[in-house]
């Protein structure tokens, strides 16, 4: 078969499609306030478990869920795009799954700390962890996405 150093129009179109697809993951930016704000929300939620009375068990989780919804909406509005998890490059999917697993383990440890020591302390630690860890994870994710997008760009 003839070897062709110039990509055919169809091959070029496929490359462009791949490049644009990866832009979705590499170009959306998370605002700097996002993770610290999430940290504050987590602190409020965990600390609220020190408040006596059943009303706090109902009101604060509801407020937390509502605030997280607003948080997601504002972050998406700032980014201008909501990437789809299905169809995401495997390397990025792994990053997200790893973040969820680490998050679940950290949440379990924070609850254990709250039950055994203090929920205020768990709130402070959790808030700091999400503020710092979230921002760190976000940078790591963007770096990986940019690397993938760069690899798919025409040289």
Partner 1 sequence: MNLAGLDPVVHAPKRLAAMAILNASEWVEFAFLRLQLGLSDSDLSKQMSALLEAGYIRVQKRGSGRGRSTWYRITRGGRRAFESHVATLNALVAQAGTVPEREAEGTEGGLAAPAAARPTR
Nearest approach, Cβ of residue 47 and partner 1 (Å):
32
Residue nearer to partner 1 on the CB measure, 10 or 55: 10
Among 84, 71, 103, smallest CA distance to 25 is for 84
Residue nearer to partner 1 on the CB measure, 27 or 67: 27
- Is position 79 an interface residue for partner 1 (rule: CB under 8 A)? yes
What DSSP designation does 155 have?
A: -
Helix (H) or strand (E) holding 133: helix 119-152
Nearest approach, Cβ of residue 146 and partner 1 (Å):
12
Look at residue 4 and give its three-state secondary structure.
coil
- Is position 152 an interface residue for partner 1 (rule: CB under 8 A)? yes
Segment interacting with partner 1, rule: CB under 8 A, options 10-18, 60-68, 117-125, 130-138: 10-18
What DSSP designation does 117 have?
A: T
- Is position 83 an interface residue for partner 1 (rule: CB under 8 A)? yes
Neighbours of 46 (CB within 10 A): 26
In the block, residue with structure tokens 């869920």: 65
Question: CA 30, CA 56: separation in Å to the nearest integer?
Answer: 31
Which residues bind to partner 1, rule: CB under 8 A?
Answer: 1-2, 4, 7-8, 10-11, 13-18, 20-25, 27-28, 76-77, 79-84, 86-91, 93, 148, 151-152
């Amino acid at each position: 078969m003839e070897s062709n150093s110039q990509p055919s129009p169809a091959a070029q179109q496929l490359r462009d499609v791949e490049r644009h697809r990866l832009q979705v993951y590499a170009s959306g930016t998370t605002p700097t306030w996002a993770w610290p704000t999430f940290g504050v929300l987590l602190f409020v939620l965990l600390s609220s478990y020190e408040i006596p009375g059943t009303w706090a068990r109902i009101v604060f989780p509801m407020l937390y869920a509502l605030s997280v919804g607003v948080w997601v909406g504002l972050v998406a509005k700032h980014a201008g795009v909501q990437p789809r998890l299905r169809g995401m490059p495997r390397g990025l999917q792994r990053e997200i799954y790893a973040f969820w697993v680490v998050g679940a383990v950290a949440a379990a440890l924070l609850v254990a700390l709250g039950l055994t020591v203090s929920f205020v302390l768990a709130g402070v630690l959790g808030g700091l962890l999400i503020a710092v860890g979230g921002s760190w994870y976000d940078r790591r994710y963007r770096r990986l996405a940019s690397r993938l997008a760069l690899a798919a760009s025409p040289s």
